Amino acid sequence: MGGSWVDEPGQSGRKILRAFDIKTGKAVWELPEAGPARSWGGAISTPWRGDFREDSGALAAADAASGKLLWRYQTNQNWKASP
């Protein structure tokens, strides 16, 4: 990250996994992630699915076309990197 941040008073952070249409740049779907949005775990994408790590400590996967949650596995880990 190389820096710091300050939370907006009265607001909690949130992380959202979003898919965009590469031709139009418009969001196709979004999937809110669980947890306080305080980790640095990112996402990895393939043409079929996207794997991501939530601040809740879970590892999860979403269908790349629809954004439907395919599975979620609770690992109880504080993520510091992408899957």
**Predicted TM-score (pTM) above 0.85:** no
Q: Could you tell me what percent of the chain has a pLDDT over 90?
A: 8
> Are 37 and 14 contacting, i.e. CB atoms less than 8 angstroms apart?
yes
Q: Mean pLDDT across the stretch 19-32?
A: 91
Q: Mean pLDDT across the stretch 31-40?
A: 71
Q: How many Å from the N-terminal Cα to the C-terminal Cα in the chain?
A: 17
The count of C-alpha atoms lying within 13 angstroms of the C-alpha of 74, restricted to the half-sphere facing its C-beta, is 4
- CATH fold of 16-74, please? Thrombin, subunit H (2.40.10)
Q: What is the mean pLDDT of the chain?
A: 77
Any idea where the domains of the chain sit in the sequence? 16-74
pLDDT score of 48: 60
Residue type, 4: S
pLDDT score of 5: 66
The CA-CA-CA angle for residues 48, 20, 53, to 5°, reads: 60
**Whether residue 24 has pLDDT greater than 90:** yes
> Are 60 and 52 contacting, i.e. CB atoms less than 8 angstroms apart?
yes
